[in-house]
Chain A
């Protein structure tokens, strides 16, 4: 099993490159979906101790809306897309074609639209990962929740803690200036899949 704490900068760069290509796909997909120019940050690839994952993304008690998907197939792991409640309301306004500021409560239709956005983002990133590694990856259906960030991520941490003390996280931050949308997209491969990814990128 690969030791996450000993990943080289070279390996982290290779993982960041997955983020880069994923980001350019996601950028296009999200901009088309929202009909707005969405800006995606330079991706980060980082290794974080499991118990520090919530702090890394703004604190355990931060209220967020999250869409979760599992990666299955030859590469497995977790995908979490999360943002503030305000961004969720704005996303719902845009996706449901309502005037800005209309959405006050996220109903089931809004939740479905937000889940769909998560699916599209995850799909574009996984397409990139799949093409780079030549491995088959299947995203699960999307799951939706609104709660404290720490509570939303703890089962991902639990899942990883069976085999590791650290999480390798590829992170994309996206934002749109007109509507002040921003959010985070995290890809957390399982430790055994990380080895598969690095080997197929030629940096194993």
Chain B
């Protein structure tokens, strides 16, 4: 207990002693966390927006005009039994006419004297099937039914969406990995400066019989504390930016930033992690 308490106190005092270099490390860690923190929010919201667009993807199934009510009911039943389908909406010719009127402002009966619009189903697929390959397979099965006149869906929309989602995902992962590596390197280098300024302590400790662990621990504790303080600073700045955006700038940028308490806790843990890894990495050179 003596030794643990001593090393903890040494780490804490080290933080107070380091002053400018310690403050510099805290700022570097805060900048790193802000980069990762905002990077995460932007990536999350981008992927959420893409997912949202994808969720609006529907497949329209047009029924032949000759189909009777029983045929339509049987087909409806068939759709209900398909595992891939999440929601089914039946649109009768009358409902289609209503929709036409709503969308185009004119009554179809005034134009043609009859209703040429066929009955149809609009189905939305479960999220895991909202991809080009599944949609094509499902459409081809439905198309084979004699009651089905045509199956329509926005194929190009799906192609573009899939292409961009993959690109976004890769970009997000690469940016995240790069930001994390940059954060660790920046943190480690700034802590290295702190340690460099006190390298005489390390050589003295080694001469008096201190183990590498004993020499290392105060610096690692100091680095971890710096990480925690950097995270607190970053948390305050992020909170401030979010507050200003949501309360004063939302009318300029139609975007509302939402983060939970868990997000701030995760940033704090990230700060501790960066300080811990950074200081361990930094001290290695001096042992």
Q: Do A and B bind each other?
A: no
Q: Which residues of B contact A (CB under 8 A)?
A: none
Q: Which residues of A contact B (CB under 8 A)?
A: none
